């Protein structure tokens, strides 16, 4: 174990932390600003695409950035991504229509994908795997802070200076990060070469993922499941994902090398982090909705009530990273973390209209501890399971899977919420009253509900609580699947400073059950 943190890393770490903070903030910062944006730009029906456009382009761009990070100068790529993100932020603030805002949010996401992957890949180049956990723990703490405090910051800015400053605030922070990286980051020279870029991979993946995401968002809600449009989108999604696999098999430099899935660790990690993405965004998007609508608190107050989540997440992420660096073992963290995540989701599902805050805080604290334990080690494991040439793409594949899970989480959990809310309102509130309100939670105004008679108000709040219970139960089911995946996750020995950076090939001690067993590469499965 290294006793001290590397000064050469610490001098550039603030720049990466600022960039990670921006990327995480912009995933949730608009949550409390959406009603004001809808009023200003005159769009209610498709308002959720302000969130979806960003999350989807972040997810799709990550494998591209990861592959580019393995081929080109990582410092320049990171700086380019940061400039693109800042340009998108400024354009979002200047948007004059809803369509412009969605397009500029997509531009933001393209840059943010490079910020997340680039910072992780650069740290992987500077730090050996066994010592990487402590630094990635810092990064995860910042990511947690940005993700769960986004609604609070968005509410404060919207109430104080207007929703456009939700995007403008990124510019000075991003410029500070750009200066730190430009002046302080020194990377070893990369060998020259003539790399070939797999452009068809991201194109086909983007089309396929966007089509299926649209199905998850619209199917059974805006459009019937049996409608021609939904069936066409399903067909397009399946066909283009099939084409993507075929393209990746033949590409000389694939965006997503399928050989990675010959690695047992990667095969488990990819679906595991996808489940984490669903659960993470489910908590950060729908818990503020519960607090604002059911409990009736302000946007800023709802952000403060999330303190148990982000405090526990930040502290646990840092602590877990240090423990992994100290002992070189990681499997207990995702196993315990996913178990706590599941318990927290079931705790949220048990909340009712009159639930005391301490029950909310307990559930949120369990979520925070669980997410901190598991997120802090996933990237270390992914990077250690592959060779140096695939560190960038392994990083991007892992983060891509989690972000894609977040994208589908918004769509699927939103559809669950809207469907359950509609049926619950029909059972408790007269139809003429229901028609005065939007069927989508982000457009419901608590002040309008408070203006109703006591009986009607109680019916509305009960319906909202029931709909959110369905959301949290769905997320809990996904978390249970994450527990199963964490249980079968193999454990490899993490390399320390000075050791060769070749793939571990499972030649070290591997944990495939609750007891230790030593396996050869042939027994554990191919590394690549």
> So where are the chain's domains?
7-189+252-524, 199-251
C-alpha to C-alpha distances, 154 to 126, 294, 405, 501, nearest whole angstrom: 34, 20, 23, 43
Phi, psi angle pair for 239, to nearest 5°: -60, -45
| CA-closest candidate to residue 141, choices 32, 31, 13, 26 | 13
| CA-closest candidate to residue 219, choices 442, 468, 479, 408 | 408
Determine the length of the chain. 528
pLDDT of residue 508: 31
Q: Residue 482: CA atoms inside 13 Å, Cβ hemisphere, count?
A: 34
> What is the rounded distance in angstroms from the CA atom of residue 438 to the CA atom of residue 445?
9
| CA-closest candidate to residue 130, choices 378, 316, 324, 319 | 324
Show the tokens assigned to 242.
């099939």
- Alpha helices for 29-48 (secondary structure H): 34-41
Q: Residue 256: CA atoms inside 13 Å, Cβ hemisphere, count?
A: 26
Show the tokens assigned to 248.
């990746």
> What is the rounded distance in angstroms from the CA atom of residue 220 to the CA atom of residue 236?
18
CB-CB contact of 362 with 347 (8 Å): yes
pLDDT of residue 282: 66
Q: Which long-range contacts (CB under 8 A, 24 or more apart) does 453-459 make?
A: 456/429, 456/430, 458/353, 459/425, 459/428, 459/429
CB-CB contact of 295 with 351 (8 Å): no
Phi, psi angle pair for 510, to nearest 5°: -120, 135
C-alpha to C-alpha distances, 356 to 286, 287, 352, nearest whole angstrom: 18, 15, 9
Q: 1.20.1250.20, 1.10.1040.50, 3.60.21.10, 3.40.50.2300: which CATH number matches 7-189+252-524?
A: 1.20.1250.20
pLDDT of residue 473: 93
Neighbours of 487 (CB within 10 A): 16
Q: Tens-of-pLDDT digits for all 528 residues of the chain? A: 444 556 767 777 788 888 888 887 887 788 777 767 876 886 655 666 787 788 888 877 877 777 777 777 788 888 899 999 999 999 999 998 888 998 999 999 999 888 877 887 787 777 776 666 667 667 767 777 777 677 778 878 887 888 899 999 899 988 988 888 888 777 766 665 566 677 788 888 888 888 887 887 777 767 787 888 889 999 999 999 999 999 988 888 787 778 888 888 888 888 999 998 887 776 667 887 788 788 887 777 777 888 888 788 878 887 887 787 777 778 888 899 999 999 999 999 998 887 888 999 999 999 989 988 887 788 778 877 777 777 767 777 787 788 788 878 877 887 788 778 878 877 777 776 666 655 444 445 666 677 777 888 888 888 888 989 999 999 999 999 999 999 988 877 665 544 544 444 433 323 233 333 333 333 334 443
> What is the rounded distance in angstroms from the CA atom of residue 403 to the CA atom of residue 204?
18
- Adjacent-strand bridge partners of 510: 517
> What is the rounded distance in angstroms from the CA atom of residue 207 to the CA atom of residue 211?
6
């Amino acid at each position: 174990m290294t006793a001290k943190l590397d000064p050469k890393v610490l001098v550039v770490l603030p720049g990466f932390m600022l960039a990670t903070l921006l990327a995480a903030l912009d995933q949730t910062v608009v949550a409390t600003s959406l009603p004001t944006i809808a009023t200003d730009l005159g769009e209610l029906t498709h308002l959720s695409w302000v969130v979806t456009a960003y999350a989807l382009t972040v997810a799709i761009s990550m494998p591209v950035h990861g592959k580019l990070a393995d081929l080109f100068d990582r410092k320049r790529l990171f700086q380019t991504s940061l400039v693109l993100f800042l340009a998108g932020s400024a354009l979002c603030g200047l948007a004059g229509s809803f369509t412009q805002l969605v397009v500029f949010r997509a531009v933001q996401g393209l840059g943010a994908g490079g910020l997340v992957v680039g910072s992780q890949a650069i740290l992987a180049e500077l730090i050996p795997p066994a010592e990487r956990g402590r630094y990635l723990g810092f990064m995860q703490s910042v990511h947690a802070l940005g993700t769960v405090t986004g609604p609070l910051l968005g509410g404060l800015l919207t109430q104080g200076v207007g929703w456009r400053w939700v995007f403008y605030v990124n510019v000075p922070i991003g410029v500070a990060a750009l200066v730190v990286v430009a002046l302080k980051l020194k990377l070893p020279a990369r060998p020259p070469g003539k790399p070939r870029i797999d452009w068809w991979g991201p194109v086909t993946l983007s089309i396929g993922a966007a089509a299926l995401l649209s199905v998850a968002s619209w199917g059974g809600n805006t459009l019937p499941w049996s409608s021609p449009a939904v069936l066409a989108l399903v067909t397009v999604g399946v066909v283009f994902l099939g084409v993507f696999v075929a393209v990746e098999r033949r590409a000389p430099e694939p965006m997503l090398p399928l050989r990675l899935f010959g690695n047992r660790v990667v095969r488990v990690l990819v679906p595991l982090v996808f489940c984490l993405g669903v659960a993470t965004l489910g908590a950060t998007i729908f818990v503020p909705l519960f607090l604002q609508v059911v409990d009736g608190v302000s946007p800023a107050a709802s952000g403060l009530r999330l303190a148990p989540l982000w405090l526990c997440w930040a502290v646990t992420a840092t602590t877990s990273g240090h423990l992994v660096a100290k002992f070189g073992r990681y499997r207990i963290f995702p196993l315990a973390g996913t178990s706590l995540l599941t318990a927290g989701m079931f705790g949220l599902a048990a909340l009712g209209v009159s639930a005391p805050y301490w029950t909310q805080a307990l559930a949120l604290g369990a979520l925070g501890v669980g997410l901190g334990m598991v997120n802090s080690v996933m990237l270390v494991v992914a990077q250690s399971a592959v060779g140096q040439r695939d560190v960038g793409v392994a990083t991007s594949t892992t983060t891509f899977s989690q972000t894609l899970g977040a994208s589908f989480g918004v769509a699927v959990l939103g559809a669950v919420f809207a469907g359950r809310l509609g049926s619950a309102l029909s059972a408790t509130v007269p139809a003429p009253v229901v028609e005065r309100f939007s069927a989508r939670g982000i457009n419901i105004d608590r002040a309008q509900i408070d203006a109703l008679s006591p009986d009607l108000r109680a019916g509305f709040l009960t319906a909202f609580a029931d709909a959110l219970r369905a959301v949290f139960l769905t997320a809990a089911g996904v978390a249970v699947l994450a527990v199963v995946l964490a249980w079968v996750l193999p454990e490899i020995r993490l390399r320390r400073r000075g050791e060769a950076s070749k793939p571990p090939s499972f030649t070290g001690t591997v944990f495939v059950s609750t007891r230790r067993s030593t396996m050869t590469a042939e027994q554990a499965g191919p590394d690549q």
